[in-house]
């Protein structure tokens, strides 16, 4: 008997509910004919009408699905039909987009009440396969995945660079949904900064060398937005790509300084088939510029073998010379540093962890491309 009742409820919901108007006394159109089900459950469907018992089942099922939507993050889509074949029900797990801090926090409050852990992937949008790999790992390791899509103005010391940065929210959301993200947080600048953020963060030497030296204020802006995101979302884990290698060191210093219990997860750099590190800025490259950009990683990769029987300075100079020899590429800086302190090293024996960090101008605009390579990590 119970099986019949459940079967009846399911039939009523799938066949009838998508077209049910708010008025209880109105007629109802069945979306499909399942005579066998109707016979078993004794639910009569005479053209466009169902019995009061059927409507009651529909109402009960509506309440059940409403509960599931809240608890299991189901999104129920109903489409009203003009013909019996057009009405249908889609029951899917669907990503939610938030633009309000309060609304996101309210949602996450319910999530935490259920004991679920939360991961975050901070991004500035214009997403690609590199971002997708971060999101997929976050989805795998956490109950709930939040992806922020926010082009943070406070970390751009060059206004032209900010204006050129790609903005592709619709495409970003499609990619994130395919990766299994739970929530997208895409606030406006006014939502994130209702008043100017005058906080100052400085963690020398990690914030003062390399990018810190060549882009004044950049890492302060990074710390401002990342700290706000961490306060808003209160994640258990945060995921960053190793392409922005120095940024990871800065975020780790920020977490220690603020005493936040956030685990920073470093993820491998994702590259194109020709070796170029995936980057949102790659979309700004013209065809001829895109053709020469892989020469950056080509020189870095070759330098690992070269370093085995050459001094650190010789290796440094060869990388710079090889890249500058390519028409359209110009090295802004190449630093070979201690992987823990980010300070320059003079000899290969100065540290057990040595990495090379590079920034290169590519093309006429020019577009600024960064990359890094690990020489030693014992």
CATH number of the domain that 286 lies in? Answer: 3.30.1300.10
Higher-confidence position of 142 and 41:
142
Q: Measure CA of the first residue to CA of the last residue in the chain; give whole Å.
A: 67
Phi-psi region of 234 (alpha: psi -120 to 50; beta: other; left: phi over 0): left
Same domain assignment for residues 233 and 298: no
Q: What is the pLDDT of residue 27?
A: 31
pLDDT in tens, 183-223: 999 999 999 999 999 999 999 999 999 999 999 999 999 99
Tell me, yes or no, whether 123 and 186 share the same domain.
yes
* pLDDT for the residue numbered 28: 31
Q: Is 316 marked active-site?
A: no
Structure tokens at 365: 């605009």
**Domain CATH number, residue 119:** 3.40.50.620
Mean pLDDT, the chain, rounded, equals 83
Same domain, 149 and 292: no
Do the beta carbons of residue 153 and residue 189 sit within 8 Å? yes
Task: Indicate whether 255 and 299 sit together in one domain.
Answer: no
What residue has token string 């053209």?
47
Total count of domains within the chain: 3
Q: What confidence category does residue 81 fall into, taking pLDDT thresholds of 50, 70 and 90?
A: very low
Would you say residue 114 has pLDDT above 60? yes
Where does a domain end: 242, 267, 292? 267
Are residue 124 and residue 225 in the same domain, yes or no? yes
175 within a domain of the structure (yes/no): yes
> How far is residue 201 from each of residues 122, 153, 242, 248, measured CA to CA in Å?
19, 16, 22, 15
Assign 15 a pLDDT band (cuts: 50, 70, 90): very low
Whether 290 maps to a domain, the answer reads yes
- Which residues constitute the domain of residue 45? 2-93
Active-site pick, 131, 218, 316, 372: 131
Residue 272 inside a domain? The answer is no
pLDDT category at 62 given cuts 50, 70, 90 is: low
Question: What is d(CA 318, CA 329) in angstroms, rounded to the nearest whole number?
Answer: 15
Residues 157 and 257 in one domain: yes
In a domain, 22, yes or no: yes
Nearest-angstrom CA–CA distance, 262 and 270 = 24
Place of tokens 């540093």: 337
Residue 287 pLDDT exceeds 80: yes
Residue 56 forms part of a structural domain: yes
Of 64, 93, 122, the domain-final residue: 93
Regarding whether 205 and 166 lie in a shared domain, the answer is yes
Verify that 26 and 61 share a domain, yes or no: yes
Residues 124 and 213 in one domain: yes
d(CA 35, CA 50) in angstroms, rounded, equals: 13
């Amino acid at each position: 008997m119970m099986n019949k009742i459940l079967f009846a409820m399911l039939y009523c919901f799938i066949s009838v509910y998508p077209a049910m108007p708010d008025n209880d006394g109105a007629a109802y159109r069945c979306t499909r004919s399942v005579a066998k089900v109707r016979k078993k459950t004794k639910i009569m469907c005479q053209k466009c009408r169902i019995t009061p018992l059927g409507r009651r089942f529909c109402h009960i099922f509506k309440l059940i699905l409403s509960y599931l939507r809240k608890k299991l993050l189901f999104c129920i889509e109903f489409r009203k039909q003009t013909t019996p074949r057009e009405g249908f029900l889609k029951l899917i797990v669907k990503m939610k987009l938030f633009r309000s801090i309060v609304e996101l926090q309210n949602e996450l409050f319910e999530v935490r009440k259920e004991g679920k852990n939360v991961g975050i992937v901070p991004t500035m949008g214009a997403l690609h396969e590199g971002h997708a790999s971060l999101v997929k790992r976050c989805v795998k390791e956490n109950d709930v995945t939040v992806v922020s899509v926010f082009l943070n103005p406070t970390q751009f010391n060059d206004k032209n660079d900010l204006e050129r940065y790609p903005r592709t929210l619709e495409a970003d959301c499609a990619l994130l949904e395919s990766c299994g993200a739970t929530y997208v947080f895409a606030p406006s600048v006014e939502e994130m900064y209702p008043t100017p953020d005058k906080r100052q963060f400085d963690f020398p030497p990690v914030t003062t060398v390399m990018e810190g030296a060549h882009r004044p204020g950049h890492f302060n802006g990074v710390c401002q937005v990342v700290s706000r995101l961490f306060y808003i979302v209160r994640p258990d884990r945060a995921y960053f790509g190793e392409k922005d290698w120095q940024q990871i060191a800065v975020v780790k210093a920020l977490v220690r300084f603020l005493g936040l219990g956030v685990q920073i997860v470093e993820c491998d750099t994702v590259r194109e088939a020709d070796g170029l590190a995936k980057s949102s800025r790659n979309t700004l490259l013209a065809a001829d510029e895109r053709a020469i950009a892989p020469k950056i990683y080509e020189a870095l990769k070759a330098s690992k073998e070269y370093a085995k029987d050459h001094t650190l300075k010789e290796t440094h100079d060869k990388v710079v010379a090889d890249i500058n020899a390519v028409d359209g590429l110009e090295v802004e800086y190449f630093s070979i540093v201690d992987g823990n302190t980010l300070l320059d090293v003079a000899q290969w024996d100065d540290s057990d962890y040595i990495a090379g960090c590079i920034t290169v101008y590519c093309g006429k605009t020019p577009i600024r491309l960064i990359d890094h390579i690990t020489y030693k990590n014992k």
